[in-house]
Amino acid sequence: MHNKITKPIQILLVEDNPGDVRLTQEAFKDGRIPVLMDVALDGEEAIFYLQRRPPYQTAPRPDLILLDLNIPKRDGREVLEFIKNDHSLRSIPVVVLTTSNAEQDISKTYSLHVNAYINKPVDFDKFFDIVQKIEDFWLMTAILPSSFR
């Protein structure tokens, strides 16, 4: 049974590659669930956003975070560690979406309590399919905290 979504899902995409940002936005735009997506282009910006530091004082709390590992300023591992060590943020599901398939990255992110690790395909159709699967599982199948409903 699918969750009944009564409001748009708020996603924070932490990604520095403009092409991947555009592909992700397009894939969710064509999805079955209304999504509002904010983008942080580096790890520091993501942390400022989550802390609601200027200029993000009115930033909404994300329902889901899509996180690339290889981003400037503070890498995705640091951002993940920050999120999972913050009592007010740790319940937000974090999905790593990265080109790295290095075993040390996979092990490290799971030791930091990532919710899922997905290797980002380079092919447009496969990338679109991955985003659809993220939507199907995280936004339609998984039971999430009541802030989603």
The 10s digit of each residue's pLDDT in 90-121 is: 999 999 999 888 999 999 999 999 999 999 88
At 50, is the secondary structure helix, strand, or coil?
Answer: helix
Among 125, 149, 144, 146, smallest CA distance to 65 is for 144
Architecture in CATH for domain 9-141: 3-Layer(aba) Sandwich (3.40)
Q: What is the pTM assigned to this prediction?
A: 0.90
d(CA 21, CA 112) in angstroms, rounded, equals 24
Domains of the chain: which residue ranges? 9-141
pLDDT digits (tens, 9 = 90+) for 37-60: 999 999 999 999 999 999 999 999
Handedness of CA 34, 85, 59, 49 (dihedral sign): negative
